[in-house]
């Protein structure tokens, strides 16, 4: 009985994880297409990369769904890393921005991802 409950629990959790990854992979590119470097909706104010032409945050984050915001918050995603040397652009899960866009994407965090951002799922790119 207990073994059956444990097996069911593992299967349910695996299915939930797979569904979350599928949703991130499906919705992420749609949001990324709206993430343009000079989009006025982003209203960047200061720079965190040392390059004055680069905004400090990704635009259009207000358009994210509540579920996407929850995933981002649960992994503590931020547009500016608190850990020097651990940034999205050196993370194995980062996907490069489209031509002309500042922000790329991520295989686990939905929405636009700043190259100098960070979350707790960071994995060193080899």
Residue 42 or 109 with smaller CB distance to ligand SF4: 109
Residue 45 tokens read as 């104010």
Indicate the DSSP class of residue 9: H
Residue 32 or 106 with smaller CB distance to ligand SF4: 106
Residue 35 or 113 with smaller CB distance to ligand SF4: 113
Binding region for ligand SF4 (CB under 6 A): 77, 88, 91, 93-94, 106, 108-109, 113, 117-119, 121-122
| Long-range pairs for 14-21: beta carbons < 8 A, 24 or more residues apart | 20/71, 21/107, 21/108
β-pair partners for 124: 91
- State the minimum distance, in angstroms, from the CB of residue 9 to ligand SF4: 26
């Amino acid at each position: 009985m207990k073994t059956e409950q444990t097996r069911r629990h593992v299967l349910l959790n695996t299915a939930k994880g797979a569904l979350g990854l599928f949703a991130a992979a499906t919705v992420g590119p749609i949001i990324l297409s709206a993430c343009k470097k000079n989009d006025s909706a982003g209203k960047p104010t200061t720079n965190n990369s040392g390059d004055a032409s680069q905004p400090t945050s990704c635009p259009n984050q207000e358009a994210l769904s509540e579920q996407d915001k929850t995933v981002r918050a649960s992994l503590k995603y931020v547009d500016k890393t608190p850990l020097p040397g651990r940034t999205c652009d050196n993370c194995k899960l980062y996907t490069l921005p489209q031509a002309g866009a500042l922000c790329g994407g991520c295989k686990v965090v939905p929405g636009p991802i700043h190259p100098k951002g960070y979350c707790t799922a960071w994995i060193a790119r080899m």
